[in-house]
A and B are shown apart, each in its own frame.
Chain A
Amino acid sequence: MRQRSLFGVVILSGVYSFLMASVLIVLDAVDVAMTEASVGAGVSTVLLLATLHLTKTTEATSFRGTMIPLFVAVVTGAALIWSTFDLPPFGTAEAPIHKHVAPYYLENSLRETTVPNVVTSVLADYRGYDTLGETTVIFTAGIGVMLLLRGARRRDRAADVEGSS
């Protein structure tokens, strides 16, 4: 089955984001689920649709072979599944990830910051450097998009001037 209409692809990716948000709620990551629902299904879909408006909405027929990509994907997947069994099983409290810094955050967040939502206290306080870096990345990406799209087709105009003179 192949979706040639890119409009359909974009809408399906929005649906997929909502489904992913529900999966994240089941996995207790409520903050992440909220972000995924608003970002993945909201802003991403709008930006993809805006790009479709600027470009084309149907995919051209391609003569690429699918065997080599399929082979690469299957081999990668097999290698990853083979190495999965060294991971601790799902949902155990004894996994190494729960023994490192997480208990400290959970025990001391309320005393040190009086913030009950540990995700917020870790995000803004314990790991403030991380968040500062991420905010800077968003800032940089925004500047990049503005540079790329606001440079208002100057080259076209230059070409027009050259053509007319």
Chain B
Amino acid sequence: MQAFRLVVEYYNYFVTIFLMVAGLYVVIARGNMIKKLVGLAIFQTSVYLLYITPGKILGGTAPILDPAFKVYSNPLPHVLILTAIVVGVATLALGLALVARINEAYGSIEEDETFERDREA
């Protein structure tokens, strides 16, 4: 019973860690640069969860003030993550632009092939 309680109380953190580790694995194990960037995006969403999860209060509601409600979730992590998402897409676009340029220069978006091309040169 104790173990079950522990799992339920920390379930969100486990999901966060699973997503984080999955993103990390994709970034390390896959040589394809598009896949690497998608892996980074997954890692990033795990950070969103890591910030939003502690801000939630059970029985609370979204932080839009109304006399009908008393308990609100913490608005501060929402603000931080809201801006982080938009910055995330801006940096993703920068990464994609680099991938496009690498493809023009090397004719490949595989990490291994670009390394090989460098070694030949």
- Complex A–B touching at CB under 8 A: yes
A residues with CB within 8 A of B: 6, 9-10, 13, 16-17, 20, 23-24, 27-32, 35-36, 39-40, 43-44, 47-48, 50-52, 54-56, 59-60, 62-64, 66, 68-70, 72-74, 76-77, 80-81, 84-85, 87-93, 95, 97-98, 101-102, 105-106, 109-110, 116-119, 122-123, 127, 130-131, 134, 137-138, 141-142, 144-145, 148-149, 153, 156
Q: Nearest Cβ in chain B — how far from A109, in angstroms?
A: 7
Name the B residues within 8 Å of A102 (CB-CB): 55, 74-76
B residues with CB within 8 A of A: 6, 9-14, 17-18, 20-22, 24-25, 28-32, 34-35, 37-38, 41-42, 45, 48-49, 52-58, 60-66, 71-94, 96-101, 103-104, 108-110, 112-113
| Known contacts A93-B57, A118-B75, A144-B94: A74-B21 contact under CB 8 Å | yes
Majority-rule SS of B interface residues = helix
Count A/B pairs, Cβ under 8 Å: 250
Name the B residues within 8 Å of A142 (CB-CB): 90, 93
Name the B residues within 8 Å of A119 (CB-CB): 63-64, 75, 78-79, 82
| Residue of B28, B58, B90 with most chain A CB atoms under a 10 A cut-off | B90
Name the A residues within 8 Å of B55 (CB-CB): 27-29, 97, 102
Taking A30-B62, A50-B96, A145-B93 as known contacts, 5 extra A-B pairs with beta carbons closer than 8 A to each other, sorted by chain A number, are A52-B34, A56-B109, A60-B113, A62-B32, A89-B9
Contact A54 B78 (CB under 8 A): no
Contact B75 A149 (CB under 8 A): no
Enumerate 18 A-B pairs (CB-CB under 8 Å) in ascending A order. A9-B38, A16-B42, A36-B45, A40-B45, A40-B89, A44-B41, A50-B96, A54-B100, A55-B103, A72-B25, A73-B21, A97-B76, A119-B75, A123-B79, A141-B93, A142-B90, A144-B94, A144-B97
Contact A90 B29 (CB under 8 A): no
Name the B residues within 8 Å of A70 (CB-CB): 25, 29
Closest to B61 in A: A28
| Residue of B63, B66, B99 with most chain A CB atoms under a 10 A cut-off | B63
